[in-house]
Amino acid sequence: MKKFLIILYLFCNVMHMNAHQFVHPGILHTAEDLARIQQLVHQEIWPSIDSYEILKADHKSHADYQMQGPFENIARAGKFGFTKTPCEEDFNAAYYNALMWNITKKEEHARKTMEIIRAYAKTTQKIYGPDDPLCAGLQGFIFVNAAELMRYTYSSDKFSDGWQDADTRQVEKLLRQVFYPVLDTFVHSRPYANGNWGQSVYKMLMGMAVFLDDEAMFQQALDLFDHGNDNGALPNYIAESGQLQESGRDQAHTMLGIGCLSEMAEVAWKQGIDLYASYDNRIMKGMEYLSKYNLGYDVPFKTWTDKTGKYNNWTTLGESGRGEFRSVFELAYNHYVYRRHFQMPYTEQVLGLIRPEWQGFTCDNPGFGSLLFYLGKSSPKIADGKIDEDLRQAWKGWQSPSVGWRVKGGILKLSQPSLCLYKRVIYALGNDPLIAVKVSSMPKKHNSNWFRMSYSVNSAPEYWTWNERDAKRVGKDIYVFDVQNTRSNNSTLFSKRKQQVILILDFGDTFNEGIIVDWVKSISSIDDLD
């Protein structure tokens, strides 16, 4: 018995010592991750290189980014709601520049991140409601990731402007005195929100615990992930079937929620704990369910009683945002498929449509998963900026809410009450200012503004629309659109837009008359057409 007690004592001491040995950097990115990301960029491995190009093009990743804060009080709504967008952009700028510093080793990016971190750490005093848990959780998680990266990759012993002990103290004060009280109040409140609120709080607690080397806080986050009373806990958010607590609400929030769960699981993985496996790989089941439904397939749905008792009236799946994919799919997919060798066929289909993943939506999720979390095989860079889509036999990578079709003369003929097709494309305007579309069968009744491009099909997209009447006709069925000088709904010239856009063909209500879209091509001049 004495021998057993001695062994137990030694075991507990070893466990106690190990519990405090946090990996640094070790929130979303370890030193090994950063080396891998840098290699993916330097070797121009697809899809990572295209995801990197999107990151690099974002003004928030530039070393000359102009900080809009800092703000003494931050919020998402209410009296200080005006701080939401500028604060989100500042925090993203800190994170993006921290990534750019670790990829390029250009010190100006490191200095920009340090400028933002120091400014907010010294200035911000309070987070205000009404949805302060989301502010503290979502914005805070981006901020603490930036701080973690700089603390361990840009130290003052190597760089004149590098991270100092004073920075550690200042950031710790910000986290413990400003962010933590908001998070802690939510955790100890009676459940009152949809699951994405809890997940936002939990992931910030976990990220903050790593930065602070706070074992008690880390354990609290682990417990909340598996056993929290809020809707955000894994078993409360994802059913055995894969259905998500917010599936009956809309698809944007379900993507936010499962994205946050994936991020928590990834942070824990960096620290040697496998949350991905919890409840029989429940995150994988949820991601497959979410992917399948948003690809247009039928999935089972059951009304359930949530933890608040407020959201029990959803009797059908939420249609809002269906097929509008956020950048949250790469992280879980790469873990389950490449680390664990599971199959995720529906998530794989989604990634076939949306790769490379681009920015996260505001501060909801980090985004850029094809760069930050890609673990797959090396593939050559495929994008040259030209559009060349042959739609005569298949629509590889194209999406539609419910395409109906039949074969006519060996060509696919589209037919449905309201026809809309869209696909993410990489389009470099410079050498090809014209886009030609061949529509060999056009119904009498259809939208005249059937050709559009958009930054995003998520909420508040920026889009450009071209009218069929303004197109130059070549023959009877080729429409040539000059896109370069068109202004968006926000008055932005198309020539100033990002390289990656969503190409949309929306013919509207065709009264079930068939349409044959042969191809879409970017061209330098009409002479390029055969």
Give 375-395 pLDDT, tens digit per residue. Answer: 997 665 555 788 988 887 656
Q: Alpha-carbon torsion 29, 32, 36, 42, what sign?
A: positive
User: Given this model, what pLDDT does residue 530 score?
Assistant: 72
Q: How many CB atoms lie within 10 A of CB 508?
A: 16
In a domain, residue 197? The reply is no
For residue 496, the domain's CATH number is: 2.60.120
User: Given this model, what pLDDT does residue 490 score?
Assistant: 83
Domain that holds residue 398: 388-528
Question: Between 96 and 391, where is the model more confident?
Answer: 96
Task: Work out the pLDDT band at 1, boundaries 50, 70, 90.
Answer: low
Residue 272 has pLDDT above 70, yes or no: yes
Q: Which residue has the tokens 């894969």?
A: 242
B/e letters for 390-402, b = 16+ CB within 10 Å, e = fewer, are: ebeeebeebbbee
Prior bond of 130 cis (ω within 30°): yes
Q: Which residue has the tokens 């967008």?
A: 85
In a domain, residue 35? The reply is no
Backbone phi and psi for residue 74, each to the nearest 5 degrees, phi listed first: -125, 150
Give 174-222 pLDDT, tens digit per residue. Answer: 999 999 999 999 999 999 999 999 999 999 999 999 999 999 999 999 9
List the beta strands (DSSP E) in 361-459: 388-390, 405-408, 411-414, 418-426, 434-441, 451-454
Task: Work out the pLDDT band at 463, boundaries 50, 70, 90.
Answer: confident
Q: What whole-number percentage of the chain has pLDDT above 90?
A: 69
Contact 208, 187 (CB under 8 A): no
Prior bond of 191 cis (ω within 30°): no
Domain count, the chain: 1
Which two structure tokens, joined as six digits, stand for 16? 């106690």
Residue 100 has pLDDT above 90, yes or no: yes
Task: Work out the pLDDT band at 59, boundaries 50, 70, 90.
Answer: very high
Q: Tell me the one-letter amino acid at 131.
A: D
Task: Work out the pLDDT band at 12, boundaries 50, 70, 90.
Answer: very low
Residue 36 has pLDDT above 50, yes or no: yes
* Element at 502 (helix H, strand E): strand 500-509
Give 114-154 pLDDT, tens digit per residue. Answer: 999 999 999 999 999 999 999 999 999 999 999 999 999 99
Least confident of 169-173, 304-308, 322-326, 475-479: 322-326
Task: Work out the pLDDT band at 3, boundaries 50, 70, 90.
Answer: low
User: Given this model, what pLDDT does residue 246 score?
Assistant: 98
Burial class (CB in 10 A: 0-12, 13-18, 19+), 4: exposed
At 420, is the secondary structure helix, strand, or coil?
strand
Closest CA to 187 of 171, 162, 173, 204: 204
Question: How distant, in Å, are the alpha carbons of 282, 333, 337, 356, 376 from that of 341?
Answer: 16, 10, 4, 21, 11
Question: How distant, in Å, are the alpha carbons of 60, 62, 372, 465, 526 from that of 65?
Answer: 6, 5, 22, 30, 40
DSSP state of 137: I
| d(C-alpha 407, C-alpha 314), whole Å | 38
User: Given this model, what pLDDT does residue 20 score?
Assistant: 58
Give 414-454 pLDDT, tens digit per residue. Answer: 666 567 788 878 888 888 999 999 998 888 888 899 999 88
Contact 211, 167 (CB under 8 A): no
Mean pLDDT value across residues 361-383: 85
Task: Work out the pLDDT band at 290, boundaries 50, 70, 90.
Answer: very high
User: Given this model, what pLDDT does residue 18 score?
Assistant: 47
Mean pLDDT value across residues 31-55: 93
| d(C-alpha 457, C-alpha 255), whole Å | 14
| d(C-alpha 298, C-alpha 461), whole Å | 27
Task: Work out the pLDDT band at 331, boundaries 50, 70, 90.
Answer: very high
Contact 276, 286 (CB under 8 A): no
Contact 233, 169 (CB under 8 A): no
Backbone phi and psi for residue 134, each to the nearest 5 degrees, phi listed first: -70, -40
In a domain, residue 59? The reply is no
Question: Between 343 and 405, where is the model more confident?
Answer: 343
